[in-house]
Amino acid sequence: ELEGDERAFQERIDAGVRIEPQDWMPETYRKTLVRQISQHAHSEIVGMLPEGNWITRAPSLQRKATLLAKVQDEGGHGLYLYAAAETLGVSRDDLIEALHSGKAKYSSIFNYPTLTWADIGAIGWLVDGAAIINQIPLCRCSYGPYGRAMVRVCKEESFHQRQGFDIMAKLAAGTQAQKRMAQDALNRWWWPAVMMFGPPDGESVHGAQSAAWKIKLHGNDDLRQKFIDQTVPQADLIGLTIPDPALSLNAETGHHEIGPIDWDEFYRVVKGDGPCNRERLATRVEAWEKGAWVREAAMAHAMKQRNAA
Ligand code: FAQ
């Protein structure tokens, strides 16, 4: 039974009132948001790395320009999200430090390698496709700055998803070798994308409390099912096969049912032991160190402007 401030807070949430930075909030609400928003921000900037790997090898000028724009959008999403986290009284430097020291999490999906050009198609189609399904409800979450950041992010994600699906559709309709490449990318990205939504609801540590606070408007399993139901017909349309022999359409419920998910793999990757975890962190840390002169120059310039004013 909630009392006092906590009770009044929950009543505001239940009534659909948005919480803003200056409002009173329980410390655990603030901490949950800092955790989720900063993990989300880290995911955006670590998520730039697997695709960045292909910018110099995109197969045409147009594909290169499109991929560059997408990866820049992700840098922008990271910035909106770090700014949203800062409204909760944390500093961006501390958040970045937590990422670089390995303390903070980011999405498991970005610890897989991008071996061929088709992986860029698979990321846009599946990873951005999953991201949109997870993020559309977040536009209506109880914390104002997070919800507002999500509105713009979702618009850009839908362009990202389309560019990925376009790459996959073109490859799937191409030569035998191109079609094989597309199928191979789908084989490798399907299960990690299904895992992106997080553990099953029964094992979700934060799920129930975040639902009560309207930070999460749907459970992990519901969103995962929505992604599966959306993606299976898309694969059919372009003649690719979802790598799951148990996949079947339940005529009664209208849902596609999948085979078992390898949760051991998920937890291994989340704990730092996926195929690319070490490489991703090392690249981020190196970029931060090599960018020190840019930060110093920007500070020096800002000081000069201020002194001149
Ligand atoms: N990876 O209790 P829950 C993108 C952790 S999209 C790693 O269910 P929660 C766009 C979880 O943190 C990707 N860890 O947790 C893009 C918790 O650990 P903790 C980013 C995961 O928070 C596309 C523990 O497991 N999107 O970047 C994962 O209620 C293409 C227990 O789980 C977001 O972050 C995972 N997949 O629900 C960019 C969306 N799943 O913190 C570039 C916002 C769970 O206690 C290219 N976040 N864990 O140590 C959310 O909606 C939620 O945080 C969930 C997890 C749904 C991810």
3-state secondary structure of 199: coil
Residues 6+ apart with CB under 8 A from 20: 144, 145
Instruction: Give residue 61's pLDDT.
Output: 97
Smallest CA separation from ligand 1 atom 23, residue: 128
Cβ 183 under 6 angstroms from ligand 1:
no
Q: How far does residue 299's CA lie from ligand 1's centre (Å)?
A: 33
Backbone angles phi and psi of 293, in degrees to 5? -65, -30
Burial 123-149 (b: 16+ CB within 10 A, else e): bbbbbbbbbbbbbbbbbebbbbbbbeb
Q: How far does residue 159's CA lie from ligand 1's centre (Å)?
A: 22
With a cut of 90, say whether residue 151 has pLDDT above it.
yes
Average pLDDT, the chain: 97
- The pTM of the full predicted model, rounded to 2 decimals, is 0.96
With a cut of 90, say whether residue 39 has pLDDT above it.
yes
Identify whether the C-beta of residue 33 lies closer than 8 Å to the C-beta of residue 74. no
Q: What is the pLDDT of residues 94-122, one digit of tens each?
A: 999 999 999 999 999 999 999 999 999 99
Instruction: Give residue 266's pLDDT.
Output: 98
Cβ 39 under 6 angstroms from ligand 1:
yes
- Helix%, strand%, coil% for the chain, nearest 5: 70, 0, 30
* Per-residue pLDDT band at 303 (split at 50, 70, 90): very high
CA distance 241 to 183: 7
Backbone angles phi and psi of 101, in degrees to 5? -85, -5
Q: How far does residue 72's CA lie from ligand 1's centre (Å)?
A: 21
Cβ 204 under 6 angstroms from ligand 1:
yes
Cβ 105 under 6 angstroms from ligand 1:
yes
Task: Name the helix (H) or strand (E) containing 256.
Answer: strand 256-257
CA distance 166 to 118: 11
Q: How far does residue 230's CA lie from ligand 1's centre (Å)?
A: 20
Residues 58-67: what's their mean pLDDT? 97
Q: How far does residue 267's CA lie from ligand 1's centre (Å)?
A: 12
Instruction: Give residue 91's pLDDT.
Output: 97
Q: How far does residue 306's CA lie from ligand 1's centre (Å)?
A: 40
With a cut of 90, say whether residue 309 has pLDDT above it.
no
In this prediction, what percent of the chain has a pLDDT beyond 70? 100
Q: How far does residue 3's CA lie from ligand 1's centre (Å)?
A: 31
Cβ 163 under 6 angstroms from ligand 1:
no
Instruction: Give residue 2's pLDDT.
Output: 81
With a cut of 90, say whether residue 1 has pLDDT above it.
no
Cβ 40 under 6 angstroms from ligand 1:
yes
Instruction: Give residue 173's pLDDT.
Output: 98
Instruction: Give residue 89's pLDDT.
Output: 97
DSSP 304: H
Torsion of CA 15, 20, 21, 25, to 10 degrees: 0
Q: What is the pLDDT of residues 239-292, one digit of tens each?
A: 999 999 999 999 999 999 999 999 999 999 999 999 999 999 999 999 999 999
Identify whether the C-beta of residue 127 lies closer than 8 Å to the C-beta of residue 189. yes
- 270, 271, 273, 280, best to mutate for ligand 1 pocket (most atoms within 8 Å of CB): 270
Instruction: Give residue 3's pLDDT.
Output: 86
With a cut of 90, say whether residue 41 has pLDDT above it.
yes
Ligand 1 atom at minimum distance from 197 CA: 56
Instruction: Give residue 15's pLDDT.
Output: 97
Tokens of 4: 């006092």
Q: How far does residue 11's CA lie from ligand 1's centre (Å)?
A: 27
Backbone angles phi and psi of 151, in degrees to 5? -60, -50
CA distance 128 to 154: 10
Instruction: Give residue 200's pLDDT.
Output: 98
Smallest CA separation from ligand 1 atom 8, residue: 204
Ligand 1 atom at minimum distance from 36 CA: 53
